Amino acid sequence: MRTLALRGRPVAVQVAAIGVGLVLSALLATIVHVSPTRALSTLFQGSFGTDFALTQTILRGIPLALTGLAVALPLRMNLWNIGGEGQFHAGAIGATWVALTFGGWSSGALLPAMVLGAVAAGGIWALVAAVPRAIWGVNEIITTLLLNYIAILAVAYLVTGPWRSAQRFPQTELFAPGAVLPRLGSSLVHVGVFFPLAAAAVLAFVLQRSKWGFEVRLIGANPEAARLAGISTARNVVVVMLAAGALAGVAGMVEVSVTFGRLQNGISPGYGYMAIVIAALARANLAGTLIIAVLFGGFVIGGYALQTLGIPAAFVLLMQGTILFSALAGARLAGYRLGSWLPTRLRARWLAKEEPSTL
């Protein structure tokens, strides 16, 4: 296949596209009267320039990497999980429930229980979209997205209602010490940094070596061939989305456990949405997702530094969009589509018109 011949090149194109996107966004900074070079240097100084900034960048990279994997995995079989944001909030709710209910437990028992709570809640939230998609082909892009709004409102309801703290602020009580992920040595980095690494390693292994992984890859590459081979697309849609919801849920657990130490409104600056850009830029590659997640963590942190120059917070969104469109253009120039899995899907849909449309 053509995409195989291009192995290696897409990475170079992607890196170039991110570079071009960054330069273009820096040029956009002139709109708010900041020189492009000043904007770029501030962005990098504020995200990777100092030890403190680098630590913060890595910490922001953790939820981004987990939600990024939650988008990348379904993308392997042409499913768009736009619901990372909602699954993140559901996971935060699940972990918080455990932390508030079993607060007396030692951390050795409480933390795994919180992870389980987050996995269950995030997974269930993903299933709300995955099951109708599997059975009737209900468009998952729209359902996962709308579920985000509901999950965010659910957090708002809980922190203003049943879980409201005694101080009457819209937040829960601070978690017991046992519910906080331990830091590594004297640094600010905590154990959560291993979650995305472990998740990516397990996923990579399972995708490459297991029968299930083969099924997922085959459905992604050629749904018609998978159908003829007797592979159940429906079952795999459910399993993949369940895993994705669990991953995003764990991201929510990490944030409430250690970043905030409680559940409150505004626990995510849109990780689930950035995750879509990250997974698309990484072309659903797992290692690539981790790397780009750290880069985007830098954008979040560097974005704060940009605000000191008078650049609005929303500028980071423009930057992401510019990079994404640069990557789309770069992919075209390099002669492949963003996402090597796409031409095969398009080809398959062309040949097999009977495949039910999902939108």
Q: What angle do CA 155, 156, 162 make, to 5 degrees?
A: 80
Under the binding rule (CB under 8 A), the answer on residue 23 touching other proteins is no
Site for other proteins in 127-186 (CB under 8 A): 128-129, 132, 135-139, 141-143, 145-147, 149-150, 153-154, 156-157, 160-161
Minimum CB separation of residue 184 from other proteins in Å reads 33
Alpha carbon separation from 25 to 20, 119, 329, 349 (Å, rounded): 9, 37, 15, 36
**38 or 189: whose CB is closer to other proteins?**
38
304/115 Cα distance (integer angstroms): 30
- Could you give the string, one character per residue 196-235, with x where binding to other proteins holds by CB under 8 A and - elsewhere? ----------------------------------------
Q: What angle do CA 247, 223, 3 make, to 5 degrees?
A: 85
**107 or 358: whose CB is closer to other proteins?**
358
- Whose tokens are 């469109």? That residue is 325
Minimum CB separation of residue 33 from other proteins in Å reads 13
Closest CA relative to residue 297, chosen from 54, 27, 73, 84? 54
Site for other proteins in 27-46 (CB under 8 A): 31-32
Under the binding rule (CB under 8 A), the answer on residue 280 touching other proteins is yes
Structure tokens at 324: 């994404």
DSSP 293-340: HHHHHHHHHHHHHHHTTT--TTHHHHHHHHHHHHHHHHHHHTTS-SST
**86 or 94: whose CB is closer to other proteins?**
86
154/263 Cα distance (integer angstroms): 11
Under the binding rule (CB under 8 A), the answer on residue 109 touching other proteins is no
Contacts of 208 (CB under 8 A, 6+ apart): none
Under the binding rule (CB under 8 A), the answer on residue 351 touching other proteins is no
Which of residues 166, 198, 228, 359 is near other proteins by CB under 8 A? 359
- Whose tokens are 């003829």? That residue is 228
**11 or 131: whose CB is closer to other proteins?**
131
Contacts of 188 (CB under 8 A, 6+ apart): 55, 56, 59
Minimum CB separation of residue 325 from other proteins in Å reads 6
Can you give the binding site for other proteins, defined by CB under 8 A?
Answer: 31-32, 80, 82, 128-129, 132, 135-139, 141-143, 145-147, 149-150, 153-154, 156-157, 160-161, 273, 276-277, 280, 312-318, 320-322, 324-325, 328-329, 331-332, 337-339, 342, 346, 349-350, 353, 356-357, 359
